[in-house]
């Protein structure tokens, strides 16, 4: 589903503040795999997500997404395959617009459904059903500005918006870092359930080793722009949480 071949990325090349963020990185992620990426600050995790999303382009190497050569495609050209959730719950939604209008905008993102569908009763009913499935009691608040909701509620809705379209890949960039522990757990549970339900391929970047242990089918540890460890599903199920903390702590 995602294939990175010999990808390298250097920022400010040739200047005194040059940073080699990724060096000749190879990574293949299969369809429906849920990869958790851990690693210390500055190890290249977000750069890797940015390269997959297309917000930055690689210096060398190639990127294939869903069987397409995406190496030179900009982020908006990849958005039909990829949805992304950021650390800040305020990113990805328009605070002053209602929950429903935010879902309309999200539906327009991939330009598959068009404005008419976004306006009709069928769309409203579908949105209410999807929101009800989150079990947060937000289905009767769809006319309320999304900015009035808590960070956890917004993250859960942003997740639902992302997967309602035809996206196949979900990128989660520390999605719970700004949330209290309980909301964080709810958001991670919601993400995990949606990934399974919609059969998504997912990448989660996190500093939370408990989440790395509890979620996902594969763990990758990055260090100085390279993959240091790559733990497969079979190995991960055998790993005890204590061992994981020892390895990555
Ligand atoms: N746009 C940029 N311009 C210059 N340097 C950058 C840019 N983006 C990232 N870097 C540098 O590249 C390196 C990798 O950064 P990246 O954000 O990918 O790390 P990370 O593993 O996600 O870190 P963190 O856990 O702190 O979020 C860092 O040294 C960072 O300072």
Q: Residues near 53 by Cβ (< 8 Å), separated by ≥ 6?
A: 75, 78, 82, 84, 171
H or E stretch covering 203? strand 201-205
CA separation (Å) from 91 to 77, 84, 133, 174, 178? 20, 10, 23, 12, 12
Task: State which of 7, 11, 53, 224 you would mutate to test the pocket of ligand 1, scoring each by most atoms of that ligand within 8 A of its C-beta.
Answer: 11
- pLDDT value of position 26: 97
Task: State which of 16, 44, 226 you would mutate to test the pocket of ligand 1, scoring each by most atoms of that ligand within 8 A of its C-beta.
Answer: 44
> In angstroms, what is the span from residue 29 Cα to ligand 1's centroid?
22
User: Given this structure, which CATH class describes domain 2-248?
Assistant: alpha beta
- pLDDT value of position 119: 61
Task: Return the structure tokens found at 218.
Answer: 């594969």
- pLDDT value of position 118: 52
The end-to-end CA distance of the chain, in Å, is: 30
> In angstroms, what is the span from residue 143 Cα to ligand 1's centroid?
38
- pLDDT value of position 111: 56
Q: Which ligand 1 atom minimizes the distance to the CA of 207?
A: 25
Q: Which residues line ligand 1 (CB under 6 A)?
A: 11-12, 19, 21, 39, 41-47
Selection from 98, 36, 21, 5 nearest residue 230 by Cα: 36
- pLDDT value of position 89: 77
Q: Report the predicted TM-score, pTM, of the whole model to 2 decimal places.
A: 0.90
Residue 41: exposure state from Cβ atoms within 10 A (0-12, 13-18, ≥19) = exposed
Nearest protein Cα to ligand 1, atom 12? 21
- pLDDT value of position 117: 54
- pLDDT value of position 77: 86
Nearest protein Cα to ligand 1, atom 29? 42
Nearest protein Cα to ligand 1, atom 31? 42
**Residues linked to residue 222 through DSSP beta bridges, in sequence order:** 39, 227
The string of pLDDT tens digits covering residues 93-139 is: 889 999 999 988 888 766 554 444 556 788 888 889 989 988 888 99
- pLDDT value of position 113: 46
Low-confidence ranges of the chain (pLDDT < 50): 113-116
Domain boundaries, the chain: 2-248
């Amino acid at each position: 589903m995602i294939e990175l071949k010999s990808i390298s990325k250097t920022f400010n090349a040739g200047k005194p503040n040059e940073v080699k963020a990724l060096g000749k990185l190879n990574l293949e992620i299969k369809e429906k795999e849920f990869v958790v990426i851990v690693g210390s600050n500055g190890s290249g995790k977000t750069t890797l997500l940015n390269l997959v999303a297309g917000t930055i382009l690689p210096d060398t190497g190639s990127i294939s997404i869903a069987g397409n050569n995406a190496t030179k495609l900009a982020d908006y050209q990849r958005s039909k395959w990829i949805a992304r959730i950021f650390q800040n719950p305020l990113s990805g939604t328009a605070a002053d617009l209602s929950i429903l209008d935010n879902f309309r905008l999200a539906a327009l993102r991939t330009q598959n459904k068009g404005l008419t569908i976004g306006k009709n009763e069928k769309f409203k009913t579908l949105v209410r059903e999807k929101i009800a499935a989150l079990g947060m009691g937000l289905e009767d608040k769809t006319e309320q500005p999304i900015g009035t909701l808590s960070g956890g509620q917004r993250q859960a809705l942003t997740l639902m918006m992302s997967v309602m379209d035809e996206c196949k890949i979900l990128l989660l960039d520390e999605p719970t870092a700004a949330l209290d522990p309980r909301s964080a757990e709810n958001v991670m549970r919601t993400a995990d359930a949606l990934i399974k339900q919609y059969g998504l391929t997912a990448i989660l970047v996190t500093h939370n080793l408990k989440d790395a242990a509890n979620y996902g089918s594969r763990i990758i540890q990055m260090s100085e722009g390279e993959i240091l460890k790559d733990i497969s599903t079979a190995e991960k199920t055998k790993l005890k949480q204590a061992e994981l903390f020892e390895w990555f702590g």
